[in-house]
Structure 1
Amino acid sequence: MANPKPKVVKDNKECFIIMPIADAEGYPNGHFKHVYDNIISPACDMAGFKPVRADEVKQTNLIHLDILKQLIEAPIAICDLSNRNPNVLFELGIRQAFDKPVVLIQEKGTPKIFDIAPLRYLEYCKEMKYHDVLSIQKELKDSIEATFEADGKQGNVNSIVKLLALNSPAQLPDIEHNRELLSLDVMHAEMRQMKSLVENMAIRGVGSKSSIEMIEYERISNELTNIVNNKRMPEGERNERLHYLLMETEEFMMRSPSKENHRHYRSLMERVHRALASDITSN
């Protein structure tokens, strides 16, 4: 598909892309890759930004610290909310907790996840016909530029921190000098901040605490499935990630006021233990 001439990317400006990576149920194979290739990537180029997806960040560790660093530090981000992917919502929550600028997009017909009137969404057609794609490329390019320019200003309409008049966003400690410590402590801090942020939205009628817990349950469950199915993952990394999921699951289980959710998390803990036991017996 022909794309308008891109701007030259200056000053290594990157746009972090928050979207489903794998094929999703209810969508044709390669759907979100087409969204990225035909809509998101060209719009970023036109706006003078280099698009970066999580799967393009090469270096990974226990909690994908490099992805987390990109997620928090990128000057602009685009988030596709189309299929309510739990990992996408989790990453968006972290981005919003740090009050970093983000452009929201979704497929036409997708119910709004956040019922906060000023939040703006760009919508694209599922069929992605030629002229529709050219139109949304231009709209997205304009929105990227406008959102980037509005960063830190009261006019930044997609800042939940500002819309809900929260006192201050989360703060990131020195990554370069505390990389090892950050691998656990920062993620826990972000999760607490993100959970607090979304629960504030719930108080204002946007969601429920139970639904937040279940989003986290789905995120951990999906990650566990991916780890178990990834036969090429190095043994050390696999073991570390499983132990981290175990800590996460235990923390959410202990904090859950819902007996039903508590049972879900206990069942999830048993799955993690079985995965760890399987690693031991296979060795």
Structure 2
Amino acid sequence: MSETKKVCGIVMPISECDGLPTSHWKDVLNIVEVAAKDAGFTARLVSDTFESNLIHKEILQNIYNDDIVICDVSGRNPNVFFELGIRMATQKPTVIIKDDMTEYPFDTGPNRYIGYPRDLRHPKMEAFRIDLVAALEKSSEHSKENSFIGQLGPFQIPEVESKELPVGDIILQRLERLDRKLVSVAARASNNRIINDLRERAETFRWKKIGAKTVEVCVRSHFNTSVDNAISDILKTDAYCDLEISVKHLSSDHSHVKINGDAINERRFKADFEFSVENAIPF
């Protein structure tokens, strides 16, 4: 009975990224898969069988469980860095690669990456394949102390795997809580904008009813010509052509408008008047 091969998960861009087409990343993937197989692993993307760009529970489980992971940070793809961060936190074997056109994303020194030419020219790609095979064989034997985090110091990272709740579920729960918090923050920001808009409008237009068919509007922050043009436009409409409107300009951007007529009691009149002033030509 043959021995089951260890699994090498691959994290990398799989669609257009940094100006490079999907076909480019497929070529890189083929080379990486060959190197992984040469090192004695079964190679596959951690996202295999998933067509969406979303981070699924099964993908997280692969990142956590795979015996070793190759991560290509070329092009600085956000999903790649997210998945790399999760993998590094496990202190399990990880090999990072990048092309020669991508700057080092964080200050860890060139020795922590295996580089390859972005144009994928053969002589250098063959040397890259040999280096990658060697790194896979060496990294698969490393203990947690030799991991990326382990080399930074003696950290004690609590185990998150449990019989009751797998690590993938825990990570997804925390992501969902973060998402809810972001939605809440966005909602509060939207509500604040609405409140501020209402306050500004209330300061711009002050309405005072002085009779059953008469109102007076104090208009601020709009030029006299804007108010005059708005009144002219309103009186040209069929709905408000019978109104009697007089205006007194107190300064260049402060006017009092007196309006008389049955139409002032129409539900839309107030909104129509304010809209006309705000959108009137100021000359």
Q: TM tier, shorter chain?
A: 0.5 to 0.7
Partner of 1:185: 170
CA distance in 2, matches of 1:97, 1:12: 24
- 2:108 is the counterpart of 1:139: no
Aligned counterparts of 1:265 and 1:100: Cα–Cα separation in 2: 40
Gaps spanning 5+ residues in structure 1: where? 1-8, 192-243, 255-261, 268-283
Q: Counterparts in 2 of 1:1-283, with a 5 A limit?
A: 10-37=3-30, 39-57=31-49, 64-117=56-109, 120-152=112-144, 154=145, 156=146, 159-174=147-162, 178=165, 184-188=169-173, 244=176, 247-252=177-182
Residue 4 of structure 2 aligns to a residue whose secondary structure is coil
**Given the two structures, how large is their TM-score scaled by the length of structure 2?**
0.58
Structure 1 residues 186 and 55, CA gap change in structure 2 (3 angstroms)? closer
Give per-residue Cα distances to partners, 1:172-204, cap 9 Å, x unaligned: 3236x546xx66433345x6xxxxxxxxxxxxx
Question: 1:259-281: CA deviations, max 9, x gaps?
Answer: xxx669967xxxxxxxxxxxxxx
Q: Distance in 1 between matches of 2:27 and 2:3?
A: 26
Relative to structure 1, the CA distance from residue 88 to residue 10 in structure 2 (aligned partners, 3 Å threshold; closer, same or farther) is farther
Deviations 1:73-92 (A, max 9, x none): 11100000011111100001
Question: Over aligned residues, Cα RMSD in angstroms?
Answer: 3.1
Deviation at 1:128, TM superposition (A): 1.1
- 2:58–2:168: 8 Å Cα contact kept in structure 1? no
Q: Is the 8 A contact 1:65 1:183 kept in 2?
A: yes
Q: Is this contact kept in 2: 1:97–1:170, CA < 8 A?
A: no
More strand by share: 2
Which residue identity is paired with 1:139?
Answer: D
In the superposition, the TM-score normalised over structure 1's length comes to 0.58
SS for the counterpart of 2:91 is: coil
Partner residue in 2 for 1:3: none
Identity of aligned residues (%): 30
Q: Deviations over 1:206-258 (max 9, x none)?
A: xxxxxxxxxxxxxxxxxxxxxxxxxxxxxxxxxxxxxx4xx43333577xxxx
Do the aligned partners of residues 264 and 162 (structure 1) sit closer, same or farther apart at CA in structure 2, a change above 3 Å counting? farther
Q: How many angstroms apart in 1 are the aligned matches of 2:63 and 2:154?
A: 21
Q: What CA distance in whole angstroms lies between the structure 1 residues aligned with 2:9 and 2:136? A: 11
1:28 shift after superposition: 3.4
1:137 positional shift: 0.9
1:129–1:264 CA distance, 2 compared to 1 (3 A): farther
* Count, aligned residues: 188
Q: 2:57–2:169: 8 Å Cα contact kept in structure 1? A: no
For 1:129, the aligned partner's letter is R
Deviation of 1:54 after TM superposition, in Å, equals: 3.0
Judge which range, 65-74 or 164-173, deviates more.
Answer: 164-173
Q: In the alignment, residue 121 of structure 1 is paired with which amino acid?
A: Y
Q: Residue 24 of structure 1: CA displacement?
A: 1.5
State the structure with more CA Rg.
Answer: 2
Return the offset for 1:112. Answer: 0.7
